[in-house]
Amino acid sequence: MADIEISSAVKQLDAHLDGLSKQFVARRSLMELVMLGLIAKEHVLLIGPPGTGKSAVVQAIARTLDASSFEYLIGRFTEPGELFGALDLAGLRDGQVRPVTKGMLPEAEVAFLDEIFLGSTAILNSLLKILNERTYRRGQFATKVPLISCVAASNELPTDAALAAFADRFLLTMFVDPVGEDQLSDLLDAGWAEAHRDGAEMPPLDRAVLETLQAAALEVDVAGVREDYAHIVRKIRLMGVPMSDRKLVKGLKLIASASLLRGSNQAGAEDLWPITYLVQSRERQADLRDLLHTELAESRNPVLASSVAQATHGLSAHAASLSAQAQTLLNAKPLPDDLRANEHWLVRLETLQTRIDAAFSEVTIPDDLKPLRAAIEVALQDQAVENEANGAASESSAG
């Protein structure tokens, strides 16, 4: 597959995430993680109180994907047929047990199941097979399912051991909190804007984008991070965090996908951060961020910057976020004749430089951020020289 196709796919995905995240406040990281799951073809579990936008975000993503989707709010009395399809009565007359799966979960590429742990044993057993083996079985009836990723949500993690084992099938776990008080005003603005939106939807993400990235992720070379990954795994196990071998092996797919979205077909230290999301405990995820402060210090991803920030220690996350902002801003230089846009661009550069200098000294600035800081300085100096030249020219013409 040509590199240009991959880089174009990454750009399209990034632009799609930008468009989607404008509709929500403080939910970019959730969207990024769902996208990471889609590229790695793995399942995502969202844990958080009701009303935090989990369903709305996943529905928005599903609506704008060129893929078949299925969503359902599971309750204690939900029947298996409501998810997997009712039995085909004509088939029953012929003595065959065959569900009608059209439009149901077994035919979906993307599934969103709210309140997943309320499902009955029959539902969870069928789901287990679908999640693990991409196979739906009912009696003698068995079919392969096209499921790419299942996103499930719940208010809390189950304490029951059997349900916890089921939850472990979800590779990525994100804890979703209500929007912070400092963003309440933005939340109200976004909610009001949403209420006035007349159904205008974003164009769907081209199916080829996801397929290209899914295929390319499998080609990423992860040999360079195996030792570091193993070291982190040992450290996590010493901490007493339960993590199955299956999860650890699958974690490499996330690292490969992260590397791809960073723009590299060789995974590096920048791409180890998804490991934080393998842990299914809010407290343990927080512990891990501190424990792996050094190992995840180089974490960076311009497309998944918010997920990186949530997965890593404060200062590393801050560096990653500043790097992503700097890259975006430096690539967005306006045309010279657009004076207003140029002025805004310079003000943003100035602000970013101030934030970088406030956080890092010449000694502590991370290697990734150093050249970007230098590029900002050069851009600002160039502008200062240009302003001086313009000033001299207008003085001489006035004279």
Partner 1 sequence: MRWINIDPIQAVDALLLTGEGAADRLETALSQKPSFARTLPRAQGEGWAAVFARTLPGEREAMIPSIGGALPLYEAERGWYFPVGLQLDAPADMVPELLQYLAEEADLRPPAILAPRDDGRIDAYPVRLFHPSEQAAGAMAG
Residue placing its CB nearer to partner 1 in the complex, 7 or 351: 351
CB neighbours of 367 closer than 8 A, spacing ≥ 6?
298
Residue placing its CB nearer to partner 1 in the complex, 96 or 354: 354
Residue with tokens 């939807």, as numbered in its chain: 201
Shortest separation between residue 351's beta carbon and partner 1, angstroms: 5
Answer for which of 73, 142, 339, 374 binds partner 1 (CB under 8 A) is 339
Shortest separation between residue 384's beta carbon and partner 1, angstroms: 7
Answer for which of 164, 179, 315, 330 binds partner 1 (CB under 8 A) is 315
Please say whether the dihedral angle defined by the alpha carbons of residues 13, 15, 18 and 20, taken in this order, is positive or negative.
Answer: negative
The SS3 assignment for 366 reads coil
Question: Any contact of residue 179 with partner 1 (CB under 8 A)?
Answer: no
d(CA 312, CA 27): 17
Shortest separation between residue 380's beta carbon and partner 1, angstroms: 8
- Rama region for 85: left / alpha / beta (φ>0; ψ in -120 to 50; rest): left
Question: Any contact of residue 206 with partner 1 (CB under 8 A)?
Answer: no
d(CA 188, CA 100): 43
Enter the tokens of residue 129. Answer: 């097979």
Instruction: Name the phi and psi angles at 267, rounded to 5.
Output: -65, 140
Residue placing its CB nearer to partner 1 in the complex, 248 or 380: 380
Q: Across the beta sheet with 69-73, what order do the strands follow? A: 69-73, 110-114, 149-154, 44-47, 172-175
Shortest separation between residue 346's beta carbon and partner 1, angstroms: 5
Window contacting partner 1 (CB under 8 A); options: 121-129, 159-167, 275-283, 354-362? 354-362
d(CA 157, CA 163): 9
Binding mask 21-60 for partner 1 (x = CB under 8 A): ----------------------------------------
Strand 69-73 and strand 110-114: the pairing is parallel
Question: Any contact of residue 18 with partner 1 (CB under 8 A)?
Answer: no
d(CA 114, CA 333): 43
Shortest separation between residue 293's beta carbon and partner 1, angstroms: 10
Binders of partner 1 in range 65-94 (CB under 8 A)? none
User: What angle do helix axes 245-262 and 3-21 make, rounded to 10 degrees?
Assistant: 100
Question: Any contact of residue 343 with partner 1 (CB under 8 A)?
Answer: yes
Shortest separation between residue 355's beta carbon and partner 1, angstroms: 6
DSSP 241: -
Question: Any contact of residue 98 with partner 1 (CB under 8 A)?
Answer: no
Q: Output b/e per residue, 157-170; b: 16+ Cβ within 10 A.
A: bbeeeebeebbbbb
User: What angle do helix axes 369-398 and 339-359 make, rounded to 10 degrees?
Assistant: 140
Q: What is the Cα 107 distance to its own chain's centre? A: 24
Binding mask 207-246 for partner 1 (x = CB under 8 A): ----------------------------------------
Question: Any contact of residue 340 with partner 1 (CB under 8 A)?
Answer: yes
User: What angle do helix axes 369-398 and 314-330 make, rounded to 10 degrees?
Assistant: 40
Window contacting partner 1 (CB under 8 A); options: 3-11, 71-79, 235-243, 352-360? 352-360
Q: What is the Cα 322 distance to its own chain's centre? A: 18
DSSP string, 256-312: HHHHHHHT-SB--GGG-GGGGGG---HHHHHHHHHHTTTTTTT---SSSHHHHHHHS
| Length of the chain (residues) | 399
Shortest separation between residue 192's beta carbon and partner 1, angstroms: 15
Shortest separation between residue 387's beta carbon and partner 1, angstroms: 8
Window contacting partner 1 (CB under 8 A); options: 34-42, 57-65, 254-262, 353-361? 353-361
d(CA 239, CA 288): 9
Question: Any contact of residue 318 with partner 1 (CB under 8 A)?
Answer: yes
Question: Any contact of residue 314 with partner 1 (CB under 8 A)?
Answer: yes
Size, binding site for partner 1 by CB under 8 A: 24
Question: Any contact of residue 350 with partner 1 (CB under 8 A)?
Answer: yes
Residue placing its CB nearer to partner 1 in the complex, 76 or 340: 340
Binders of partner 1 in range 355-394 (CB under 8 A)? 355, 357-360, 380, 384
**Contact residues: partner 1, CB under 8 A:** 186, 313-315, 317-318, 339-340, 343-344, 346-348, 350-351, 353-355, 357-360, 380, 384
